[in-house]
Amino acid sequence: MLRGHTLGAVCLLTLLLTVGSQTRACTSLLVTKGASTDGSVMITYTCDGEFHPHLERVAAADHQPGDSIEITNRDDEIIGKIAQVEHTYASVQLMNEHQLVIGETTFDGREELKNPDGLLRYWDLIELALARARTAREAITVITELAEKYGYRSTGESISIGDPDEAWILEIIGPGPGGKGAEWVAVRVPDGYISAHANKARIGEFPLDDPENCVYSDNVISFAVEKGYYDPESGEPFRFCDAYCPATPFNLKVCEARVWSLYRRAAPSQKFSPDYHRAVAGAEPYPLWIKPDKKLSLSDVIDLMRDHYEGTEFDMTEGVDAGPYGSPYRWRPLKWSVDGTEYCWERAISTQQTGFSWVSQSRSWLPNPIGGVLWYGVDDTYMTCYTPLYCGINIVPESYTIGELSEFSWNSAWWVFNFVSNYANLAYSFMMPEIQAVQSELETACIEQQSVIDKTALGLYKSDPPQAVLFLTNYSIGNAERVVTRWRELGEHLITKYNDGYMKDEEGDPQDKGYPERWYQRVINEDNNKHRLQPSDTAAADWKLVD
């Protein structure tokens, strides 16, 4: 008998549930092979919450007939078990040895549909799919069949699933206490298009007779009718997102705004309006997928995941809330009130709450150990540096596997990156260009040498696959640790250069930089000139005598 969970990285997702729903701020972008410059399928994932992630690799394994997996709750109490399969696949974080990758965002939806009697939560299902499936279609089958057999315990989820050929979105929600199975629908993103979701269900109307591109649970519509979520006599088509995750001003502002920002940047020619995410009456929902203005490179996708609505009316680097140095970060809670009126900060893709994130590549023209790559980073997407982890590696970099939220450590990659990003908030407009310079230097070098690494690994793989795996393992670990070392040096440089409100010049001499002119003007306007230098009558008389 085996004890679940085996995929420690996925287990960390449970920690998100302990820090409040306002921190469930994940974002996923799906890029089909026809929409990417090199023909790869790319999926992105930001896992947001106040937790310290530990990167892990799970080895492939054979199992005996009759083996089972024990499913535990957060207190590590066994709540049930499921049958094990004969063989399970290896995985690095959320990508398995077949280049299958899975990410998610929680949309909650109708809270009354959470089923405490179900056995499997969404992270159980993701873990099991990675262990048992080779393709996106197989993963959908694994997830939905297990949910049907053992029951689904979580609230609503949007799940991104990619393989070397396809990208799919699966949205799933429970049947309520004592119910059976789950209500769900899965759709394939058409080749040449991109899609996105960010904690709000997004599948609307879907085809009922196109199993090659859409599959769904038998009662996904009838259940909604039974519960009063959909009236077939209304003349309106059934829309999964409207039935199971109705739009509200809050979930539109903090969820659909992220989708809007991804779309507006990937396809500026389509001029997507902010009206929908601002809950303007009659505004059209954003489409589930769009065709980007140009095919997206890996660099483009990484850049899209770095966003604070810069250049729009919602730019978080502007305004009094950005402080004197234009910081785009807002401390929680997300919602707040003054004099009985409720307000809400903007919620950007790049947020200080991110524990880890990645951009995946699944590439059909390369053998699996070489074709699958997770470009992995810890902490905020804007401040992190993505490092490549090939899915065929058999060891992961140590600094990404250690550390605790309760104790700072220079040996933990997560703490190193958190130190730099937190310190940068003291003078964001000054420090961010220096951080971006190092970030660009490291990421650009990795991206530019990827073709050489691939070619070398492929040459080894043709004659000696284990040597190819060793080569990729050494490269992935060496590069990741170099990134952490360089980031530690960056942190030490920043705290030395920017200290006590001074900024050292090239000679190491401290300089007064003060505040931007616009901030001084705001201080004058809001503080009623209390800082103005104005001589007293006595002083003025003394000056006249001196004259």
Model confidence at 546, pLDDT cuts 50, 70, 90, reads: very low
Residue range 100-104: mean pLDDT, rounded: 98
DSSP classification of residue 373:
E
Together in a domain, 162 and 275:
yes
The pLDDT score that the predictor gives to residue 532 is 87
Together in a domain, 432 and 470:
yes
Of residues 398 and 526, more confidence is placed in 398
Model confidence at 527, pLDDT cuts 50, 70, 90, reads: confident
- Do 350 and 329 form a contact (C-beta atoms < 8 A)? no
Encoded tokens for 161: 């699933």
Residue range 248-276: mean pLDDT, rounded: 98
Strands 68-72 and 510-512: unpaired
State yes or no: pLDDT of 390 exceeds 70: yes
Please write the tens of the pLDDT for every residue from 43-82: 999 999 999 999 999 999 999 999 999 999 888 899 999 9
As a whole-number percent, the residues of the chain with pLDDT over 90 amount to: 90
Model confidence at 544, pLDDT cuts 50, 70, 90, reads: low
As a whole-number percent, the residues of the chain with pLDDT over 70 amount to: 93
Of residues 2 and 306, more confidence is placed in 306
The pLDDT score that the predictor gives to residue 441 is 98
CA 524 to chain centre: 40
Main-chain dihedrals φ then ψ at residue 503, nearest 5 degrees: -130, 120
Please write the tens of the pLDDT for every residue from 459-477: 999 999 999 999 999 999 9
Residue 546, H or E segment:
helix 537-546
Model confidence at 541, pLDDT cuts 50, 70, 90, reads: low
Residue range 281-306: mean pLDDT, rounded: 98
Residue range 375-403: mean pLDDT, rounded: 98
In 110-210, which ranges are continuous DSSP H helix? 122-132, 136-150
CA pair distance 272, 259, nearest whole angstrom:
10
Beta bridge partners of 364: none
532 occurs within a structural domain: no
Encoded tokens for 341: 């009126």
Residue range 197-204: mean pLDDT, rounded: 98
Residue range 265-279: mean pLDDT, rounded: 98
Together in a domain, 111 and 52:
yes
* Residue 5 preceded by cis peptide, ω within 30: yes
Model confidence at 417, pLDDT cuts 50, 70, 90, reads: very high
360: burial class by Cβ within 10 Å (0-12, 13-18, 19+)?
A: buried
Residue range 371-383: mean pLDDT, rounded: 98
State yes or no: pLDDT of 453 exceeds 90: yes
State yes or no: pLDDT of 357 exceeds 50: yes
What is the identity of the amino acid at 65?
P
Together in a domain, 178 and 320:
yes
Model confidence at 14, pLDDT cuts 50, 70, 90, reads: very low
519 occurs within a structural domain: no
Model confidence at 24, pLDDT cuts 50, 70, 90, reads: low
Together in a domain, 168 and 202:
yes
Number of C-beta neighbours around residue 335 at 10 A: 12
Task: Name the average pLDDT for the chain.
Answer: 93
410 occurs within a structural domain: yes
The pLDDT score that the predictor gives to residue 11 is 38
Of residues 376 and 75, more confidence is placed in 376
512 occurs within a structural domain: no
Together in a domain, 326 and 402:
no
Model confidence at 376, pLDDT cuts 50, 70, 90, reads: very high
Together in a domain, 328 and 392:
no
Beta bridge partners of 83: 68
The pLDDT score that the predictor gives to residue 533 is 87
CA pair distance 304, 286, nearest whole angstrom:
17
Report the sign of the C-alpha dihedral through residues 159, 267, 306, 277, in that order.
negative
* Closest C-alpha to 91, from 120, 46, 129: 129
The pLDDT score that the predictor gives to residue 535 is 63
Encoded tokens for 26: 């994940």
State yes or no: pLDDT of 6 exceeds 80: no
Residue range 220-241: mean pLDDT, rounded: 97
- Do 214 and 187 form a contact (C-beta atoms < 8 A)? yes
CA pair distance 303, 306, nearest whole angstrom:
5
State yes or no: pLDDT of 542 exceeds 60: no
* Closest C-alpha to 153, from 172, 170, 168: 172
CA pair distance 108, 201, nearest whole angstrom:
9
510 occurs within a structural domain: no
Q: Of 288, 312, 344, which one is at a domain's C-terminal end?
A: 344
534 occurs within a structural domain: no
What's the number of domains the chain is made of?
A: 2
518 occurs within a structural domain: no
Give the CB-side neighbour count of residue 348, counting CA atoms within 13 A. 23
Together in a domain, 337 and 443:
no
Domain range enclosing 184: 2-344
Together in a domain, 442 and 294:
no
Model confidence at 18, pLDDT cuts 50, 70, 90, reads: very low
DSSP string, 486-500: HHHHHHHHHHHHEET
Residues in the chain: 547
Together in a domain, 169 and 302:
yes
CA 523 to chain centre: 37
Strands 2-3 and 68-72: parallel
* Closest C-alpha to 455, from 387, 367, 396, 360: 367
Together in a domain, 200 and 288:
yes
State whether residue 398 is helix, strand or coil. helix
Together in a domain, 133 and 188:
yes
490 occurs within a structural domain: yes
Report the sign of the C-alpha dihedral through residues 17, 20, 23, 24, in that order.
positive
- Do 161 and 139 form a contact (C-beta atoms < 8 A)? yes
The pLDDT score that the predictor gives to residue 538 is 53
